[in-house]
Chain A
């Protein structure tokens, strides 16, 4: 019996899931995700959280986090404007859906609109890098934020905009249960897309731009084209996430797409692992789930000490911040890197020498 993996074909070696067991595990995961909604109610009652709602948010954010990870993790260009680009997607859906555009047209339009806006604000990336680019994209965040709040004729301002429910071929995604499948499809699609992109010509060129842009140019990578393309694809994905969010929440206002959301997106991919497809998934799950889980002890405590509710509520934020900092210190490469070390450990256990 061979001890280890030996591939005899290049195609086998390049496969994402090269072994039978990995494939089986992935099928199992897929089936589990598909049948999950039928058990969600029982589990939710057990845990005291609305699990379906939580999962829907996670799946929507995964699409957006993949987008930002493509830009920041793979191409190495930081953006503090992705919260606003998500808002552009959400408002595009809101406005077009109210004009009577169907779901299958309004959602791609949201992505394209966000891509266009992202590409325009990505132009400074040709000259700026690192912190300087962060400030430039932060300007995008503030400009778009201002537009969303004050262009009331288009966005409804702070009173918000109501969005009709998503409908595809007569099927209305009008409940958490139904929307779950839509969000799952998009999250899975975005994940596959990013994984495939990262192992083909375009994805490699992005990494080249990140690691050494000068030698990237020598091997024939057009820096201008790939920097802008990265901004475009990334904003497209986050715009789609915004569109889905609008269809899910059905009422959008400017409060949601602030600087805080941009920072949260960055935190997701940093905690999860930059430049890793798995990283954005882990990061989103972590960042969306943790506040909910921290809510459980906070609520329990409030029941015992009702008068000091405010303190426990802020304790939750505090704990959240502490956990994130601890992660950055002890696992700076993110959850995905930890996942790989754990897997490597078990692969050789108990003879790890």
Chain B
């Protein structure tokens, strides 16, 4: 795992108003009688890699779904760059600069890799059904500009040149995950929400993905919110960790602080084991 450079060890001071990019305030979400989220609060600072961890069913994905407006929380607000986005329609969220990848790959399986990535650029393009159908002048220039940009910035960065013309449905799992990240990058996001980007990957693929996330974070300056079960990755690359359990936040802090937190140990290992680990047994 590449170590974080001096630029990576940073900003642990109190977040000022400008540094706050995303604020999740007192989110409540219910499905029937089930409280999926009950009053979750946290703040994501600009330029951070913010991890969200927690046991299965803790509500991690629910938080992401609330941020990108798939779910409509019953209470609370989500503030992105000083603007309350709780009333923004789902398809407008992308234009604000919020991109995400999914836990179960949600690519457009019938299209090529290039097509998928270009679709990520949808909100930044302008040709309509008339100019696109004629494909002269503006529409053509725009297509070429986007192609060049995608090739040189994203495909090159994620090392997927060899598969750019292939149909996504035929690709192996690890590569599909990478294409999904590429599509999210094509959205030119200010904040990137990644839902288990390393799930089901082998060690090599995991390290590649970790490297990509660090590159994106450091070179592009994109804030990353990361849900991940691989604790090694979380501890290595994240600046700050939020721990959820049963829909509530039980801890937040640097990876080191969180891993020592008794509530976290209890949530993961159970009360009895937590006591044992305290005694050093």
The 0/1 profile, CB within 8 Å of A marked 1, for residues 52-96 of chain B is 000000000000000010100000000000000000001111110
Q: Does A50 contact B (CB under 8 A)?
A: no
Q: Assess whether A218 is in contact with B110, with CB atoms less than 8 Å apart.
A: no
Residues B90 and A229 in contact, CB atoms below 8 Å apart: no
The yes or no answer to B106 lying at the interface (CB within 8 A) is yes
Contact of A197 with B183 in the complex, beta carbons under 8 Å = no
Q: When each residue 61-103 of chain A gets 1 if its CB lies under 8 Å from chain B and 0 otherwise, what string results?
A: 0000000000000000000000000000000000000000000
**Cβ contacts under 8 Å, A219 to chain B:** 94, 99, 119-120, 122-123, 183, 187
From A160-168, A203-211, A240-248, the one touching the partner chain is A203-211
List chain B residues, Cβ under 8 A from A14: 143-144, 147
Chain A residues with CB under 8 A of B147: 10, 13-14
Per-residue CB contact flags for chain A residues 190-220 toward chain B (1 = under 8 Å, else 0) read 0001101101111111011011101111111
Is B26 interfacial (CB 8 A cutoff)?
Answer: no
Q: Are B115 and A196 in contact (CB under 8 A)?
A: no
A218 touches B122 (CB 8 A): no
Encode B227-260 as 1/0 by CB contact (under 8 A) with A.
0000000000000000000000000000000000
Residues of B within 8 A of A222 (CB): 91
Q: Residue among A13, A202, A210, A219 with the most chain B CB within 10 A? A: A219
Instruction: Confirm or deny: A11 has a beta carbon within 8 angstroms of a beta carbon on chain B.
Output: yes
Q: Count of A residues near B, CB < 8 Å?
A: 33
Contact A210-B119, Cβ < 8 Å, known A10-B151, A219-B183: no
Complex Cα distance, B144 from A217, in Å, reads: 24
Interface-lining segment among B13-21, B127-135, B266-274 = B127-135
Given contacts A14-B144, A196-B135, A217-B90, contact A201 B127 (CB under 8 A): yes
Cα(A9)–Cα(B240), bound, Å:
44
Contact call A208/B106, Cβ cutoff below 8 A: no
Given the complex of chains A and B, what is the CA–CA distance between A190 and B210 in angstroms?
47
Other-chain contact of B132, A11, A13, A203, A223 (Cβ < 8 Å): A203
Kindly provide the distance from the CB of B156 to the nearest chain A CB, expressed in whole angstroms: 13
Name the contact of A204 in the complex, choosing from B91, B99, B111 (C-beta under 8 A).
Answer: B111
Contact of A218 among B68, B131, B133, B142 (CB under 8 A): B68
Main secondary structure of the interface of B (DSSP, over half): helix
Report if A272 contacts B (CB, 8 A): no
B 22-64 to A, binary, CB cutoff 8 A, 1 in contact else 0: 0000000000000000000000000000000000000000000
Q: Mark A3-39, 1 if CB is under 8 A from B, else 0.
A: 0000000110110000000000000000000000000
Q: Which residues of B contact A193 (CB under 8 A)?
A: 133-134
B107 proximity list for chain A (CB < 8 A): 211-212, 215
For residue B102, CB closer than 8 A to chain A, the reply is yes
User: Is B139's CB within 8 Å of the partner chain A?
Assistant: yes
Which among B91, B128, B134 is the interface contact of A221 at CB below 8 angstroms?
Answer: B91
| Chain B residue contacts of A210, Cβ below 8 A | 108, 110
Q: For the complex, is A233 an interface residue (Cβ under 8 Å from B)? A: yes
Given A10-B147, A219-B187, check contact A197 B123 (CB 8 Å).
no
Residue on A nearest B169 in the bound complex, by CB: A211
A214 / chain B contacts, CB cutoff of 8 Å: 70, 106
Would you call A200 and B139 a contact (CB within 8 A)?
yes
**Does A199 lie within 8 Å of B143, measured CB to CB?**
yes
CB neighbours of A122 from chain B (8 A):
none
Q: Determine if B125 is an interface residue (Cβ-Cβ < 8 Å).
A: yes
Q: In whole angstroms, what is the CA distance A258 to B135 when docked?
A: 35
- B4: CB under 8 A from chain A? no
Q: B148 and A223: CB pair below 8 A? A: no
- C-alpha spacing A163/B128, complex, angstroms: 35
Q: How far, in whole Å, are A211 and B70 apart by their CA atoms in the complex?
A: 18
Question: Which of A207, A217, A221 is in CB contact (< 8 Å) with B115?
Answer: A207
> Within 8 Å of chain B (Cβ to Cβ): is A283?
no
Residues of B with C-beta under 8 A to A273? none
Check if B177 is an interface residue, CB within 8 A of chain A. Answer: no
What residues of chain B lie closer than 8 Å to A111, measured between beta carbons? none
* A196, B108: Cβ atoms closer than 8 Å: no
- B129 A233 Cβ-Cβ under 8 A: yes
**Chain B residues near A208 (CB-CB < 8 A):** 108, 111, 119, 122
8 extra interchain contacts, Cβ-Cβ under 8 A, other than A201-B122, A205-B122, A218-B100?
A10-B151, A14-B144, A200-B133, A201-B132, A204-B122, A208-B122, A219-B99, A233-B129
A-B contact pairs, 22 of them (CB 8 A): A13-B147, A193-B134, A196-B132, A199-B143, A200-B133, A201-B128, A205-B119, A207-B115, A208-B119, A210-B108, A211-B107, A216-B119, A217-B91, A218-B68, A218-B93, A218-B106, A219-B94, A219-B99, A220-B95, A221-B91, A233-B129, A275-B110
Q: 6 tightest A-B contacts by CB?
A: A220-B94, A200-B132, A220-B123, A196-B135, A211-B108, A215-B106
